[in-house]
Structure 1
């Protein structure tokens, strides 16, 4: 019989942690029954702590089993159309957490927080932990919000929120782009330009096809903060700390990806239209100082979850942020994006940016990679 052997919650641990006993011999049906019995407790814990790590459910051994178990806790999953990270479907709407190589870390973030309708929760399942590294990083968005300079928060509010401009290469030119390029055929899950246009229109996005076959995409203006529909807490909710030029350079520098840093530096200085940028709602580019401050705040808030096979990690996508450390060896972590009916009804509406405020993109402030500083 499955039972909760040990729990660390609240001030004892972040994320909250449940160690299960009796799970080694339990069937998938037993696991589903146990999750159903604990669903209310899990819901309350996610609203309070934002993150729960469960260990000891051995029947969670495949993407199919992960999907079945999630059906008890989260019957409504969503797709990843419009997402920035390279990933692929594994089983139904179960996807890889990311397909980025192990040399990359992934800065912490709320999933798809650059869109008007992000998932309400995210679930991760570990099929195979990495040989070295590969922890999932998590952080408390409330604590991150407290650490952000009030002047920075005020600036984002006064200048009308955040808007992401992405330049998506064609499927045959991905390798020619610096950064983390993802072809528009994968972002929109179709090679049909008319279908891309339809999806973009439905999402309130402006698109322009460039001469080289790339797609320039202006996404909707969104508030920099988001209020949780059940707890009423308002937290930082955007990815300016990832997509601003200075932040992207800091990311590659922190990872020691020197060639990527050089290519990004050149692209931002010589051809900024071909790389991603972050703007305020009034059309001004997010400042270098603010981007780097935000990058540092998120890095300082990281807590590492080290995986074992069969582990389950449940996150509230407003109250918790997540990322990944670099790794070596095989790593297989799967993900599911979850819709919550209560939260979905309370999604904040986005407003489209007038074409008149599509701003020019000045080059970033370039600093040497951290690994090369004297």
Structure 2
């Protein structure tokens, strides 16, 4: 089926367009005069550029406090990250040579952040853009057969090891060493879970493939099926899927009724999202604020020592 080029792009705010000095204080002044929630809902993603925001941690914290109502921890997150500040993390530690497909952060979970704030501390030598895609456009661009198949929802399964094994440990995932803390968290999520004999934790949860935006009511593609399915992951993960039974993989996904998702559906979803995405190329100090329901994000491959930080908010 034919598709037109995406008309949507993130809004770009610069000192000259904002009418403020090209400094962190200038950005803070601009933000204090804005209804940030309305600005983000209207634009889905906003880039703040040339404000020297990354010059020191305090300048980032000031902007983050104005853009994020409350910073969330990355509890139950499945991406490899390192905590580097007050609920500030490395954006991902997934190997640089691999592309990260489009996704809404923690859409597999019972709750997810409403806003995501990226900050470029150090751009890549080459590549490393953060692509963003309009979730409504992504949904509308999928083949009707695929949309219909995903409509009843998905079943995600996680296997979190006890400190040694493939994927993430339950300790890193839940930022605790105490099983009681993990159980207290999971008891309120609607997930099914159990501790296994080797000390690992298995979690299963059914979730929708689409959701309605809480403000606009627009239906958007909202899941991470292609990142949990062997057909949508990197070569090493695909090899692991050939070595282990599906129910022992670090993460896997099926349709909500337990039936397998065809590989060609996953490929179609992944390639459609990446094709429609708009790249945000990084400069030092750039900020990117994303409405995590209205827009999905990813990462292009890169070379060099790219360092992009992320914080999240409800």
- Cα deviation digits, residues 208-245 of structure 1 (max 9, x gap): 233433222112x2221111121110111111121122
2:160 is the alignment partner of 1:168: yes
Count of matched residue pairs: 305
* Distance in 2 between residues matched to 1:127 and 1:74, nearest whole Å: 18
Q: Which residue of 1 aligns with 2:120?
A: 126
* Distance in 2 between residues matched to 1:278 and 1:65, nearest whole Å: 40
- Cα deviation digits, residues 280-334 of structure 1 (max 9, x gap): 2222232323222212212222221110011011111111110111122111111
Kindly indicate whether the alpha-carbon contact (under 8 Å) linking 2:10 and 2:43 is maintained by their aligned counterparts in 1. Answer: yes
Q: Which residue of 2 aligns with 1:319?
A: 294
* Distance in 1 between residues matched to 2:71 and 2:12, nearest whole Å: 24
2:4 is the alignment partner of 1:14: no
1:209 to 180, 195, 207: 195
Question: Which range moves more in the overlay, 106-115 or 191-200?
Answer: 191-200
Q: Which residue of 2 aligns with 1:197?
A: 183
* Distance in 2 between residues matched to 1:64 and 1:87, nearest whole Å: 21
SS at match of 1:182: coil
Kindly indicate whether the alpha-carbon contact (under 8 Å) linking 1:67 and 1:94 is maintained by their aligned counterparts in 2. Answer: no
Q: Which residue of 2 aligns with 1:264?
A: 240
SS at match of 2:14: strand
Give the superposed CA RMSD: 2.1
* Distance in 2 between residues matched to 1:32 and 1:294, nearest whole Å: 38
Deviation at 1:262, TM superposition (A): 6.0
Q: Which residue of 2 aligns with 1:225?
A: 210
SS at match of 2:102: strand
1:36 to 32, 46, 65: 32
* Distance in 2 between residues matched to 1:305 and 1:240, nearest whole Å: 24
Q: Which residue of 2 aligns with 1:336?
A: 311
Deviation at 1:202, TM superposition (A): 2.0
Kindly indicate whether the alpha-carbon contact (under 8 Å) linking 1:126 and 1:308 is maintained by their aligned counterparts in 2. Answer: yes
Q: Which residue of 2 aligns with 1:240?
A: 225
Q: Which residue of 2 aligns with 1:58?
A: 52
Kindly indicate whether the alpha-carbon contact (under 8 Å) linking 2:157 and 2:247 is maintained by their aligned counterparts in 1. Answer: no
Query: Cα distance 1:237–1:170, how it changes in 2: closer, same or farther (>3 A)?
Result: same
* Distance in 2 between residues matched to 1:278 and 1:33, nearest whole Å: 45
Q: Which residue of 2 aligns with 1:365?
A: none
Kindly indicate whether the alpha-carbon contact (under 8 Å) linking 2:130 and 2:297 is maintained by their aligned counterparts in 1. Answer: yes
Q: Which residue of 2 aligns with 1:144?
A: 138
Kindly indicate whether the alpha-carbon contact (under 8 Å) linking 1:207 and 1:215 is maintained by their aligned counterparts in 2. Answer: yes
SS at match of 2:284: coil
Q: Which residue of 2 aligns with 1:342?
A: none
- Cα deviation digits, residues 55-99 of structure 1 (max 9, x gap): 111144244422221212322121111010011221111111112
Q: Which residue of 1 aligns with 2:3?
A: none
SS at match of 1:318: coil
1:68 to 62, 67, 73: 62
Kindly indicate whether the alpha-carbon contact (under 8 Å) linking 1:108 and 1:322 is maintained by their aligned counterparts in 2. Answer: yes
Give the TM-score, by structure 2 length: 0.90
* Distance in 2 between residues matched to 1:63 and 1:109, nearest whole Å: 28
2:110 is the alignment partner of 1:99: no
* Distance in 2 between residues matched to 1:23 and 1:17, nearest whole Å: 16
Deviation at 1:277, TM superposition (A): 1.6
Q: Which residue of 2 aligns with 1:4?
A: none
SS at match of 1:197: helix
SS at match of 2:164: coil
Kindly indicate whether the alpha-carbon contact (under 8 Å) linking 1:16 and 1:52 is maintained by their aligned counterparts in 2. Answer: yes
Larger Rg: 1
2:172 to 178, 186, 207: 186
Uncovered stretches (5+) of structure 2, i.e. residues with no partner: 1-5
